[in-house]
Structure 1
C-alpha cells in the first residue's frame, strides 16, 4: 500500500507540473532516437501538425514480446493512428524485449512512472488524457501498470493479452476498453471470473462494481473483420467496453483509432 501511494503521488506531481508549466526544455530525442533513462529507454513520437504548444493527450503503449517501441511507431494500427489524431505516442522498451507483468513487485511499473515523468519534462502533457495500451504480453503489462498505478489513467486499451485469473487491483483507470479474438491460442480469451469462470473482464467489472452488460452492436472498418461490442456503463465507478472478433492473436485494423476517436469526442474514422 505504501509503495502504491508513493507511485501515485509521484504521478500527480509530474502531471500537475506539466499542466502548469509545460515542457522545461525541447526534446532531444524523438521518433526512432530513444530517450535514455539510466540503463533503460523509451521512444516518443509527436503527432502530425502539432503547434509545439498545445497540451497533448498521451498514448503509452507497451510493445509485444520480442519487439521494441519502434515497432509500435511504425505500425499503421498504432503509430499511424496517434499521428492523425493529435496524440503523443510514448513507447517504453522492455528489458530483453519483454515485460515482467507477473506480480505486483515488478520493476516495470516504477520504470513506466519514470517514463511518464520524463515525458512531462519534454512535452506539455494533457494530464487528464493519459491512455495506456499494449499488445499481447504488452497488453498484460498495461493491465499490470494500471492495476498498480492507474488512478491517473483515463483509459486502459488492452489488445489480445490479459492477467491470469485470481488477481486483485489496488488501483484502476477511469475506463477499460479491451479487444480479444475468441480463437486466440497465444493468449486465450481471459477467464478472470471467480473460480476461473469465463467472465469477460471480470477483474475490472468487479473492481468498478458493474452491473449487467449490454450488447452494443457490431462494427467494422475493414470488410473481412467484424467486431461485436458489449458495454458495462452502469458501474459504480468508471465503465468497461469489450470488443470481440472471431479471429486469433493480432491487433485489429482500426481498433486503436476508433477507441481514441471515441475517447477524444471525435467522429470515428479510418485509418
Structure 2
C-alpha cells in the first residue's frame, strides 16, 4: 500500500518547513485560557482550544466563532498540512489558509480545526503534526493507537452535540496531507459531510483500501500544474514518500465514485486579476444526474504547492519560491471552496 508521508516523507517535509524559514511560521493564535472541556461561550466569538478523549488518546482541536454567531450555523472542518498544526495554519505568514477567517466572519460559520499527531514522539498538541491516517497505513506504525478517522468522527459528534451548528451543513477541507485525509473522510464517512474541498492533494497510487464510498459527496479538487511536492502528473513523492496518482486519475476516480463520469462538464477561466503571477485558474465542473454528486477541478496552471490567494502570500524568499512554487493570486482559495460547498446540505434521514 502507498504511504503518506512515511518516515522519509516526514523528514523531507519537516526539512522543507525549516529551509523555507517562516513559510510555516508558528505565530498563529496561541492557546487561550479557555482550555477546559466545557462549552465555549460562542456568543462572544474568538478562538477556543479544547481536548477530547478519542480511543485511548487525548486529542486537541481549536474552534473559531465569528462575532454574532447565530444558531444553526454551518461548520467547516479544516485539516492542516503535514508539519503544520491547528495554530500555525493561521500564522501571519501562513498564506491562503488565513482567508478562512475572513470567510467565517463574513458568512457566519464555525471553523473546527483539529490537530494531527507528531509521528516521532506521539505528541497530539504540538506544532509539527501529521495526519497518520491520510492513507490506509500512513505513518501509523510511528504513532501506535492513533486513528484520525475515529478522532474526526468523535469530534463531529461533540461539535454537533455541544455547539450551535447545523448537522446538515458540516463541510471538510484540507491541504496536502490534510487534503489526503479529506479524501479519506469522504470515502469512509461520506454521510457526515455535506461537501468537501481538497487542496494540493492526489490520491495514492497503490492504496488497496481505496473503495467507492457508500454515498457520493460534492467535491472540489484544487491542484497546481507546477507543484514539486504533490506533482500534477503523479509519481514518486520526493525521498520515496510513496507514489501518488496524477490529478487526471484522481479526478477520474472521484467522477466514478460520484456517478459523474458521463456528466457534461463546463470549463471556464477565472478572471486574470494578477497578470504577473504566471498563473491562471481553470475551473472544470461535472454536474451529474440525480443520485450523483458534482466534482469540480480548479487547475492552478503555473501554480505550486500553495492555496490560491489574493491577499495572503508566503514569504518571498528564494527557498520558498523554489520549494513551494508560484502562488496564484487571481482568487481566494478559501472563498472559492466555500462558494462551491455552501449550497449543499446533508440528507439527515
**Normalised TM-score (structure 2):** 0.61
| Structure 1 residue ranges without an equivalent (≥5) | 1-24, 266-271
CA contact (8 A) 1:205 1:240 kept: yes
CA contact (8 A) 2:171 2:195 kept: yes
1:78, CA displacement in angstroms?
Answer: 2.5
Matched position secondary structure for 1:95: coil
Matched position secondary structure for 2:154: helix
Aligned length: 236
Matched position secondary structure for 2:156: helix
Looking at structure 2, the residues matched to 258 and 37 of structure 1 have their Cα atoms a distance apart, in angstroms, of: 31
1:48 to 64, 67, 83: 67
Matched position secondary structure for 1:146: helix
1:227 to 262, 278, 281: 281
Looking at structure 2, the residues matched to 164 and 172 of structure 1 have their Cα atoms a distance apart, in angstroms, of: 21
Tell me the residue number matched to 2:259: 209
2:194 to 154, 172, 176: 154
Tell me the residue number matched to 1:34: 49
1:234, CA displacement in angstroms?
Answer: 2.3
Does residue 245 of the first structure (1) align with residue 295 of the second (2)? Answer: no
What does 1:74-223 correspond to in 2, within 5 Å? 74=91, 75-96=97-118, 97-100=129-132, 101-103=134-136, 107-166=147-206, 167-189=210-232, 198-210=248-260, 211-220=262-271, 222-223=273-274
Q: Which has the larger radius of gyration?
A: 2
Say which structure, 1 or 2, has more relative contact order (CA 8 Å, 6+ apart).
2
Render the CA deviation track for 1:177-226: whole Å, top value 9, x for unaligned: 1111011111122659xxx6743512211112221552421114842442
CA contact (8 A) 1:158 1:179 kept: yes
Matched position secondary structure for 1:261: helix
Aligned-residue CA RMSD in angstroms?
A: 2.6
| Structure 2 residue ranges without an equivalent (≥5) | 1-37, 92-96, 119-128, 141-145, 236-244, 310-331, 344-349
**Normalised TM-score (structure 1):** 0.77
